[in-house]
């Protein structure tokens, strides 16, 4: 009997609430997972083997792996995971993103010859506390006149990323603010965030500051402005972001702004 998207969402939500099964590409709430499954994932990339599950967020020959989700603490875990991955289209470039306590998935990726691309930290914030110094640096919605500078900075800081500058601009709306820090008529930095009002959640997708403006408060001001807009105007309940574990300067900045470390993850690529 064919399993449903609802069953897959419940399966993922239950597993992802356990630190030793956590997969970074999907959340822990069944209704949010179901929305992603029905809106963003093709049915042909939902793979079941009994109750074992693997999902690919697939595009242009590459896929982010949701899973494998396997209820087993025995030695057959890798064998069952291999059974799932054998259902994936040939020559698919695979990406895995696993909580650091998900040892079975991490060791399995290593056994497949996957490359560890980095260690990441997820930080979250659940409130905004105004500060007396707010407003010392001018923050505004990115204007048309600032687009070329924004595009240059975006390409410089994020040369290989999922959204280019034009895509970000097209996606921008009240729920997806693109803010700019301007100093002496020049773009000092920008921040782009996306929120989902249905679930009261948001994520910071990009934050970048010009090299000449670093260390002068632009990054902090951008982050605080985005937090204020999301929490106060969009009624967001929680904001998350992801940053390299090695970028301790950025992590300290986020913590100073009110974020806390939620999870540590390992990022893999298998060609």
Q: Tens digits of per-residue pLDDT, 120-165? A: 999 999 999 877 665 668 899 999 999 999 999 999 999 988 899 9
Instruction: Return d(Cα 96, Cα 106) in angstroms, integer.
Output: 9
Per-residue pLDDT, 186? 87
> Which domains does the chain carry?
5-121 (no CATH), 127-236 (3.40.630.30)
Give me the pLDDT at residue 212, please: 87
Pairing of strands 260-270, 139-141: unpaired
Between CA 229 and CA 239 the distance in angstroms is: 11
Question: What pLDDT score does 120 carry?
Answer: 97
d(CA 88, CA 77): 18
Distance CA 197, CA 201 (A): 7
Reported pTM? 0.86
pLDDT of residue 42: 92
pLDDT in tens, 74-95: 789 999 999 999 999 999 999 9
Hey, which residues does 154 pair with through a beta bridge?
A: none
* Percent of the chain predicted with pLDDT > 70: 97
């Amino acid at each position: 009997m064919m399993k449903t998207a609802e069953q897959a969402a419940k399966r993922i939500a239950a597993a992802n609430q356990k630190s030793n099964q956590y997969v970074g590409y999907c959340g822990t709430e069944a209704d949010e997972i179901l929305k992603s499954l029905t809106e963003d994932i093709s049915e042909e990339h939902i793979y079941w083997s009994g109750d074992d599950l693997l999902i690919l967020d697939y595009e242009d020959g590459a896929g982010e792996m949701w899973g494998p989700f396997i209820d087993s603490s025995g030695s057959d875990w890798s064998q069952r995971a291999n059974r799932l991955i054998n259902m994936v289209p040939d020559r698919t470039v695979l990406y895995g993103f696993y909580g650091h306590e998900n040892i079975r998935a991490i060791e399995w990726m290593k056994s497949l010859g996957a490359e560890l691309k980095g260690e990441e930290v997820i930080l979250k914030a659940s409130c905004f506390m105004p500060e007396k110094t707010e407003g010392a640096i001018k923050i505004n919605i990115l204007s048309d006149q600032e687009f070329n500078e924004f595009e240059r900075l975006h390409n410089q800081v994020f040369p290989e990323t999922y959204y280019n500058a034009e895509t970000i601009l097209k996606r921008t709306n009240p729920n997806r603010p693109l803010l700019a820090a301007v100093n002496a008529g020049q773009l000092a930095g920008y921040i782009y965030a996306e929120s989902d009002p249905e679930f009261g959640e948001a994520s910071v997708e990009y934050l970048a500051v010009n090299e000449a403006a670093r260390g002068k408060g632009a990054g902090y001001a951008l982050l605080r402005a985005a937090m204020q807009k999301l929490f106060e105007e969009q009624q967001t309940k929680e904001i998350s972001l992801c940053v390299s574990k090695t970028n301790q300067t950025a992590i300290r900045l986020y913590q100073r702004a009110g974020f806390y470390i939620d999870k540590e993850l390992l990022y893999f690529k298998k060609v």
